[in-house]
Every structure is written in C-alpha cells, then in structure tokens.
Structure 1
C-alpha cells in the first residue's frame, strides 16, 4: 500500500498528488525496478486523468526514478549498487547540514511535531521491515521540512529516495533494520533540543551506518 498524500487537504495540484503517490510506490519498490509504467492503470488506481500522471512521470524522470524510451514507453529505473558510493557521498555532506539546520530553525510547532513523531517511534518497535522503512522515510522528511530551504529539501528527499530503494532491494538479507530506525530517537532528540552539533554528528553516523550495512552484504 502506497504512502498517503497528507498534503491533499492543503490544495496541492493533481500533478503534485500524482507525483507523491507514484514516487512513493517507486521508493518502496511497489513498482519494481525495470517494470514498465502503465499510465492507464495508474490513472485508474489513483482516480486521476492521464495529464497529471504524465506531468508526474516527467518530474520523476528528472529525479532518476523513471526513464522514458522513444517508442518503448516509461520504466522504473534499475537499482544499481554501484550508485551507493555516489549517493552516500552526497548524503554524508547534506544530511548533517540538514540536521544541524533543523535544530537551529525548527519552530516550537515543529519541535512539538517531532516530539510526537519520536514518541510514535518509541512505541512502534517490532513492526515488519516495510513499515520500519516507511518510518525511516517519514522521520527524514520531517527533519527536512524544518530546514526551511525548499531547494535543499527537494535535494535531500531525492537522495533519500534513492537510498531507500537500495534498502528495499537488500532488506530481505538485513537483520538490523529496527536498530537503524531506532537511531532516529537520539537524532530527533538533538533536533528537538536545538543541539545542532549533536544532530549533525548523529546524522552523519546514520548515513555512514547505512552504507556499512549495505556494503557488508555485497
């Protein structure tokens, strides 16, 4: 089941809604790497016309989530483990920046929301790996929103999505997914408490730990 569009109530466009829904299916590999994208089926499943679907797919192509071939159609991009080093290089720089910026810039309302998210995370242990990964994604996106830089936020989401696709490929062989997600509890605490240096340190270790876990399997 794909991620719900929480933003729908705020009046975002159909194309944006389509983008979010298709993107999250691609991220969680509900649309498998290399699988053809069936616009008619998506139109029916999402209860939308073909135009917003096509606009969303063009945007997803820029995100490297789908690729379009003339006269062949549009396909979900493959997940290449060789991309891990490139993705991790970007994330090792940007994730600590995001965490420290969020610690400095989060509003009182943001900190209350992050506190609630931390409580849910503490209570939700023991779920299956797919649910844990969705929690991982939701925490990252909550922190990114607190940066208050739309350009940085878009870049962070893009690279986190690519990293999550790699997680999904290897998750049947991973044994420490719960521990990886639990790392968010001290990270969220640092952001909530406004400790920018600690937040940056924990974010860097989180990204490095992800890369180590994957490399241990290849």
Structure 2
C-alpha cells in the first residue's frame, strides 16, 4: 500500500475535506496521484477496513457518514478502553514520558492566550495527538494502543465539527486539565487514579460534543 497517498486521503476524511457521504472515485484519485487503479484500490480498501469509508457496489467508495447513535456506542467503548490505557501507562511511565507530558501541557496552555479557534483548532488537535502518543507509548501494549487509536479516529470527525462553534477556552482548558491530572497520576504510579482520570475526561469531552451536536 502507498503510505503517502493513504495518509493524504485519510487526513482529508478526518479533517472533513471529504464530506461524510461523499463518493470517492477511484479513477479520479488515481489520476490525481499519478498511480494506477491497483494501489489506489489498496488504499481505499484499507480505509474501508478502518471504517473511514465503505464500498457501494456499482457506485464507488463512500466516506462513512457520521451517525450520532453509532458514535455514542463507540464512545461508550472508548470510556473503558481509554481508562485501561491510563492504568497500563502507569506501569511503564518514565521520566522522559513525564517531561514530554509537561512540554505538551505548556503548548496547550499557550492556546489559552488566543481565542481564534479557526487559527488554532489544528494546533489543539496536534497537541491532543501528541498527548495520546505519549500515553500509548508508555502502555507497551500494541493491541490496546491500536484499539485506542482506531476508536479515536472513528469519533474524531464529530469532535472536529463541534470545534467550529465550541466554547474555545473551555475546550482548551479541558485538555490542559486532563494532561495535568494524568501527569499527577502517572507521577504517583497510581493506576486506579489514572484509569478514573482518563475515563472521566473522555466522558466530559463526550458530554460537550453531545450538547453541541444535539443542541441540548
């Protein structure tokens, strides 16, 4: 599989450059990237496997829709798996991990000084990504890390949509607080505390999304 093409198309899906429900034409994409249909088909098959897209017979490959009820089910699974990730990370957290968490927290705090969400939401996403990567690296369990990442990506677009009209300072501060709390739990080597923190902040995150998405 062509990793570069895969990354570009996947990011277009995640950041809504390809709208939910949009048909991706294999021939058009192959021409755009200057490849034959076979490597393009491999990329689209991979995205289908990751539930980023699905094949419609005699039509093409469609970007998966965002169905809130389905997202709710994924989030319920994430509540537990992210808690598990937090508790496992405690077992192997290192001084380097803690230093990296502190640096990520500082980057996030800097966003509080700018209320321009349109300018900084990509930065917030990148900080969140780096935070998760530190935690997943400390897990030392590729199965759990891969599952966490997959479920996160399946819900990412819903979060990104709500960032357009969220309470920006609240959203940024929530991530700052989560990183701060995780740093404390990891430093204390408290797995129970870490499980609870990861689960609690994800539930709060979901509640904010639900309020914006449903308007109540």
TM-score bracket for this pair, using the shorter chain length: 0.7 to 0.9
When the two structures are superposed, what TM-score results if normalisation uses the length of structure 1? 0.79
Residue 140 of structure 1 pairs with residue 132 of structure 2: yes
Cross-structure match for 2:142:
150
CA distance in 2, matches of 1:114, 1:84: 28
Cross-structure match for 1:82:
69
Deviates more, 1:138-147 or 1:76-85: 138-147
More helix by share: 2
Deviates more, 1:170-179 or 1:148-157: 170-179
Query: 1:85 deviation in Å?
Result: 2.1
The CA RMSD over aligned residues, in Å, is 2.6
CA distance in 1, matches of 2:103, 2:12: 26
What is the aligned counterpart of 1:186 among 180, 198, 205?
180
CA distance in 2, matches of 1:184, 1:86: 23
Deviates more, 1:156-165 or 1:138-147: 138-147
What is the aligned counterpart of 1:198 among 181, 193, 202?
193
Cross-structure match for 1:94:
81
User: Residues 45 and 197 of structure 1: is their aligned pair in 2 closer, same or farther, counting only changes over 3 Å?
Assistant: farther
Q: Is the 8 A contact 2:92 2:139 kept in 1?
A: yes
- Specify the SS of the correspondent of 2:147: helix
Cross-structure match for 1:28:
15
- Specify the SS of the correspondent of 1:183: helix
CA distance in 1, matches of 2:135, 2:35: 30
Cross-structure match for 1:7:
none
Query: 1:189 deviation in Å?
Result: 1.2
User: Residues 52 and 152 of structure 1: is their aligned pair in 2 closer, same or farther, counting only changes over 3 Å?
Assistant: farther
What is the aligned counterpart of 1:214 among 197, 209, 215?
209
CA distance in 1, matches of 2:33, 2:186: 36
CA distance in 1, matches of 2:37, 2:127: 31
The gaps in structure 1 that reach 5 residues or longer are 1-13
- Specify the SS of the correspondent of 1:186: helix
Bigger Cα Rg: 2
**What number of residue pairs does the alignment pair up?**
205
